[in-house]
Amino acid sequence: MRLKLLVLGLALVTAVPAAVTAAQAADGIYIPLMSYRTGPYSGAGIAIFNGMHDYLNLLNARDGGIGGVRLIVEECETGYDTKKGVECYDATKGKNPVVSTPYSTGITLQLIPKASVDKIPVLSMAYGLSASADGNDFPWVFNPPATYWDGASAFVRHVADVEGGFDKLKGKTIGLVHLDAPYGKEPIPLLEALAKDYGFTLKLYPIPGAQMQNQTSLWLDIRRDRPDWIFMQGWGAMNPTALKEAIKVNFPMDHFIGNWWAGGEDDVRPAGPEAKGYSALGFSGVGRDYPAIQDILKYVVDKGNTQTPKEKVGEVLYNRGVMNAVLIAEAIRGAQHLTGKKQVTGEDVRRGLETLNITEARWKELGLPAFAAPIHLSCADHNGHNGIYLARWDGTKWTKASGWIEPIKDKVLPLIDSAANSYVSANAGWPKRSEACDKSS
């Protein structure tokens, strides 16, 4: 009897997928958020998706959506797992999503070829495939405001500024501590090119994903090699571990700079007060002294319409989530403006993203003055290669420590071109761009 019940139960449970209902999104613009609030990277993920969710909720609560159409925001849990990410994509595809935000390099790579087929633009904000900045080859993929190559080149520019000019870089040694995965290896070709041009030596310190929290031997190597500067392309638990080890070997914190995924509060806090002086790249403002963030507190957080603990509002990754939501919202707004429709589709939002132009004045209008550098995309340039700033950890919080640092565009752009070409040639049959180009508004 018990056995029969078991068998019956199993049959029932496996029969459920057949009952999948492709619920069509009712009136409203459907925005799926691929989130990871579980899994090894949930620490960062929760903050980012809280930020995105809260800003989109704010638009609903304060303005009644965008252009009078409500936003339907739905999260799909990926756990930073590529399989589940693709599952989420397939599960939400039927509901006419206007944009997909994969939030993982692995998932982004999966979605890039699908985007043009399913007519859903991919917005991978400063992650994913650097080469996808080339709008002629990747009309459906957007990665503003900067690529990893822009980030690494901004770091080199900063080093040159501190050292007193690009000619002073000669003979210096720069170490790259990176996750030994596609994401971590991304800046290598650029840094190698710059090393050749400016005459500095590049030393690589790869950290395998499984060894993230065991870096002692690597830092002994670093102590032996004595690099003058260290750039860190790190993620997750790797960041606080690297900081702790750097402190142990007495590496000067002001010569240790992380990229923008190594600059969250939780990355440095565990390292204690000695981490003071460590800095990381950033492209979205910190703190809550922005009218829009105050609005989030007023309309969303205080109303209890969120999962965000109040004290987390305004942290680095939270604000980055807000910025991502702003890009989505502005693209939808642009699409409505271009097409004259209220209920826009993925195709319209692609055009909206391509004509995205958030000027300094527009940032102010949005209630986020000087929150990020002005972002201007075009049909050819889906990234903008915008300014990046340096955030410094003062022991308790991140503070803005520099103005907007321009990436070294004349080195980055040729590399993007050649990478995009090689992607297209490796993928025989890659579709030629057939999408018309809109005039920027």
Partner 1 sequence: MLYREVGQYKSNYAADMAVFPILQDRIGIAVILVIAYVVFPLIGNDFLLNTILIPFLIFSLAAIGLNLLTGYTGLLSLGTGAFMGVGAYACLKLTTIFPHVNILIWILASGFFSSAIGVLFGLPSLRIKGFYLAVATLAAQFFLEWCFIRIPWLYNYSVSGAIEVPLRTFMGIPMTGPTATSLTRYLAVLTIVVAMTWVASNIVHGRIGRMWMSVRDMDLAAELIGIRLFRTKLLAFAVSSFYCGVAGAMMVFLWYGGAEAEVFAIDQSFLILFMVIIGGLGTLIGSFFGSALIYILPIALRLIPANFGIPIRPAAAEQLTFVIVGALIIVFLVVEPNGLARLWQIGKQKLRVWPFPY
Q: Can you give the binding site for partner 1, defined by CB under 8 A?
A: 2-4, 6-7, 10, 13-14, 16-22, 35, 37-38, 75-77, 79, 82-83, 86-87, 90-91, 93-94, 105-106, 109-110, 112-114, 116-117, 129-131, 180-182, 185-186, 189, 209-210, 307, 419, 422-423, 426-431
Least Å from the CB of residue 105 to partner 1: 7
Between β-strands 357-358 and 375-376, what pairing exists: parallel, antiparallel or unpaired?
Answer: antiparallel
Nearer to partner 1, 106 or 175 (CB): 106
C-alpha to C-alpha distance for 47 and 395, rounded to whole angstroms: 20
C-alpha to C-alpha distance for 244 and 148, rounded to whole angstroms: 24
Nearer to partner 1, 114 or 397 (CB): 114
Nearer to partner 1, 277 or 431 (CB): 431
Nearer to partner 1, 28 or 287 (CB): 28
Least Å from the CB of residue 52 to partner 1: 14
User: Could you write out the DSSP letters of every residue in 209-273?
Assistant: GGGTT--HHHHHHHHHH--SEEEEE--TTHHHHHHHHHHHTT--GGGEEE-GGG-SHHHHGGG-G
Least Å from the CB of residue 129 to partner 1: 6
Least Å from the CB of residue 371 to partner 1: 27
* Beta strand ranges found along 279-373 (DSSP E): 279-282, 357-358
Nearer to partner 1, 113 or 272 (CB): 113
Q: Please, is 87 exposed, middle or buried when counting C-beta atoms within 10 Å of its C-beta (0-12, 13-18, 19+)?
A: middle
* Alpha helices (H) along 289-315: 291-295
Least Å from the CB of residue 344 to partner 1: 22
Least Å from the CB of residue 440 to partner 1: 28
Nearer to partner 1, 12 or 436 (CB): 12
User: Which residues, other chains included, contact 289 with Cβ-Cβ below 8 Å and sequence gap of 6+?
Assistant: none
Nearer to partner 1, 22 or 436 (CB): 22
**Both ends of the chain: CA-CA distance in Å?**
70
DSSP state, 344?
-
**Which amino acid, 390?**
L
Least Å from the CB of residue 436 to partner 1: 21
Residue positions counted in the chain? 441
Least Å from the CB of residue 124 to partner 1: 12
Tracing tokens 């000619």 back to the chain, one arrives at 167
Q: Contact at 8 Å (CB) between 158 and 390?
A: yes
User: Could you write out the DSSP letters of every residue in 102-129?
Assistant: --SHHHHHHHHHHHHHHT--EE-TT-S-
CB atoms within 10 A of CB 336: 21
Nearer to partner 1, 115 or 125 (CB): 115
From 238, 304, 298, select the one nearest 271 (Cα to Cα). 238
Nearer to partner 1, 178 or 351 (CB): 178
Least Å from the CB of residue 38 to partner 1: 5
Q: Contact at 8 Å (CB) between 79 and 57?
A: no
